[in-house]
Copies of this chain bind each other. A is one copy, B any other.
Amino acid sequence: MKNEKIINEMVQKLLSGDRRMAARLITLVEDEAEENHEAMKQIYPHTGKAAIVGITGSAGSGKSCLIDHLIRKFRQQGKTIGVVAVDPSSPFSGGAFLGDRIRLQSHSSDDGVYIRSMASRGYLGGLTRSTHDVIRIIEAMGRDIVIVETLGAGQDEIDVIHIAQTCVVVTTPGMGDEIQALKAGLMEIADIIVLNKADLDGANTCIKNLQASLSITSFEEGEWVPQVIPTVAVASKPEDIRGIDELVSGILEHQKYLHISNALERVKFERVEQELGLIFKDELQKIIFKGLKGTGKKKKYIKSILEGKNDPYSVVEEILGSYLITDGERRNG
């Protein structure tokens, strides 16, 4: 097919690290274009090799500044980086304050850094699924490390965090932020807990609280025990910046642990399982809503529900009944 050939040429360019082609392919994801599936099919076999690091924490916790430092350190080690900013308040997303934005844009002249925001527009296929695809595209560019920045609130975000192999949860002293994080279930998914702004009052109490909550958690033999790392990502004097090397080491140590234990296999399995589920849902809904659309049935169904003559559960049963093959009838695939 002609289409397949054009997409193949696009994917070849992507594999050679072409940034503009990455942007074009990501636009296909955003638009849920027909070509997206063909492109993802061809991209898929070239993915799964990058280290995927999730950085999560509430707005204002300093995630973007930490990522800025991480980019510099990893670049010094010769590693290529991709950043996917899912947090709409992130400077990487074009939001936040001018100063931040300018500082982060300094990476834009470095070919070894590819930054992409997921906040610029709606995603027809859902944010989580689109984020999956965007990460795969960046992996196919041959990046060594892909950093995913999320806000750490809401189910979608938790789903996104599950994509990450190493999950860094960022919290700050004061305002009971570490308690909020505990409550939101963020600690359970943390491989590394960063207490940023560790120069603020109450930092020591916070670290003690975090370590106390870890000490009452039971870990199995050989299981990874989350590290607590205090950091200062912003300071008026550069020498007051703290904890960045420790964070880099922590991430690399955790990656090493994943490779030595068989935990990486499990994380990769779960990632594919999640992707399969999301694609399933979307494709099915598309097919069935398309079937409804032409006939004006959907509107009729909704109206009958609003008039109290029907309910959505019965409607779904009815439509499914006419579209799905029963197990008895099912073709042998």
Mark interface residues in A194-215 (1 if CB within 8 Å of B CB, else 0): 0000000000000000000000
Q: How far is the CA of A289 from the CA of B280 in the complex (A)?
A: 9
Count of interface residues, chain A, beta-carbon cutoff 8 Å: 71
Q: Does A235 contact B (CB under 8 A)?
A: no
Give the Cβ gap from A315 to chain B, nearest Cβ, in Å: 6
Known: A154-B153, A311-B44. A184 touches B281 (CB 8 A): no
Q: Are B154 and A313 in contact (CB under 8 A)?
A: no
Q: Are A281 and B272 in contact (CB under 8 A)?
A: no
Q: Which residue of B276, B285, B305, B332 is within 8 Å of A44 (Cβ)?
A: B305
Interface majority SS on A: helix, strand, loop or mixed?
Answer: helix
In the complex, what residues of B have CB within 8 A of residue A312's CB?
44, 272, 275-276, 279
Give the Cβ gap from A193 to chain B, nearest Cβ, in Å: 18
Known: A40-B311, A41-B311, A175-B60. A316 touches B279 (CB 8 A): yes
Query: In the complex this chain forms, how many copies of it are found?
Result: 2
Known: A155-B154, A313-B279. A89 touches B184 (CB 8 A): yes
Q: Which residue of B153, B175, B184, B324 is within 8 Å of A324 (Cβ)?
A: B324
Q: Does A252 contact B (CB under 8 A)?
A: no
In the complex, what residues of B have CB within 8 A of residue A183's CB?
88-89, 95
Give the Cβ gap from A318 to chain B, nearest Cβ, in Å: 6
